[in-house]
Structure 1
């Protein structure tokens, strides 16, 4: 699947046991004045969907390609070098390297990633987004060889969260609301029923349909011994997310 296609589609929607140590002093000294945000998608959203499946863990060889995304809500109208990299004991592996020129105020870019091809080792990994060499955002995320060995796949906690689009015509200060869903999961950890228990603010007025679509994207660890599991899942709408 082509990067340009997903970048355009997602722009319309939007927001360590074996790890290298972080370098707080260096990071603070080299922080970027440009706001940045990092997000991983478990797989590409459906083309007609207004929701996206946010990954809380990654596989080196997933069934469908994961996507790495970066975004900014205050990007300058000039050329900016962008580097999104993931660290392991062997160094930094590039997930995105390029130059953004004359970007709009709100920019979202995503592309497929192949962690096996990049030879990223399993473990808790540091991911850093740099604009012009200065750190704009950083996260840690688990990389696993398979769901069977992934800590993020154990128990009833979610490892894929559904997210609604960010509405660009809403001022950040006004971007607030809340969903509470009751989700029913089947033995494979996928959602089989959604009940919207609470919808307040934008969740009720602008994002009800997209929110219910997002609820279907949640996934938890598989448990063949349980035909159904119900979880009450809150989701707060926050600026830029």
Structure 2
């Protein structure tokens, strides 16, 4: 399943935002595996309806950032995985192994040591003891949330809630559309979420979209009107 998302920002009294975040892995290696790497602002609770997808982290353990890895299409069963964090200097600052990794999606603590250098980091995935990484993805890492560029006044969220797919739904059923609108106040809090459109599998995911809206995070911006501004997110579902 893949969601088509596109950012459109209109800076008027109301702002409508339709979002596309590339969620596929970057810099794929030569192993032939299609590896998905996802960054989460915090660790979701068991059974959560949505998760906090992000493109940014903060050094340290305060936010419990997560890196999730899944092998999407591979005929070869996986037996192990190594996840490596490389900071903006190009130095490996953390490395963790999972000797029971099967290829199914699993999330790990991002392990962002406070002595790492802020900037653009990358997370590399090595499968089954390979010496060359299979896939990698970059993420912006800040010294603190207050100092983060992504947390400066802006109409762009730094955490965008994403609905979790119903586990009981078969891949063939993932066809449809879901659109929701968030109202955001000057403090960056989502105060209201409403469903604008739901078709196909989207009809079954409305509650999940509401949850996704409320866990999104936006920078503080005193220029926002008292009534808040509106951000629109659309997701189109199709089986791969």
Equivalent residue runs for 1:59-208 within 5 Å: 59-61=58-60, 63-74=62-73, 76-94=76-94, 96-100=96-100, 103=102, 107-117=104-114, 119-132=115-128, 133=130, 134-154=132-152, 155-168=154-167, 170=169, 172=171, 174-204=173-203, 206-208=204-206
Unaligned runs of 5+ in 2: 1-26
Q: Contact (CA 8 Å) 1:68, 1:95: kept in 2 or not?
A: no
Q: Give, in angstroms, the shift of residue 63 of structure 1.
A: 3.7
Structure 1, 223-232 or 49-58: larger mean CA deviation:
223-232
Unaligned runs of 5+ in 1: 1-26
Contact persistence 1:82–1:100 (CA under 8 A): no
User: 1:56–1:167: structure 2 CA closer, same or farther, 3 Å change rule?
Assistant: same
**What is the alpha-carbon distance in structure 1 between the residues aligned to residue 111 and residue 81 of structure 2?**
22
The question of 1:224 aligning with 2:222 is answered yes
Q: 1:229 to 1:78 in 2, by over 3 A?
A: closer
Deviation at 1:43, TM superposition (A): 1.1
Number of aligned positions between the proteins:
208
Secondary structure at the aligned position of 1:203 is classed as helix
Give SS of 1:158's match: coil
TM-score with structure 2 length normalisation? 0.74
Structure 1 moving runs of 4+ over 6 Å: none
Q: Are the aligned partners of 2:94 and 2:112 in contact in 1 as well (CA < 8 Å)?
A: no
Q: CA RMSD in A?
A: 2.6
Distance (whole Å) between structure 2 residues aligned to residue 78 and residue 183 of structure 1: 40
Deviations 1:189-227 (A, max 9, x none): 1211001111122111x3221122112121111113433
State the TM-score, normalized to the length of structure 1: 0.74
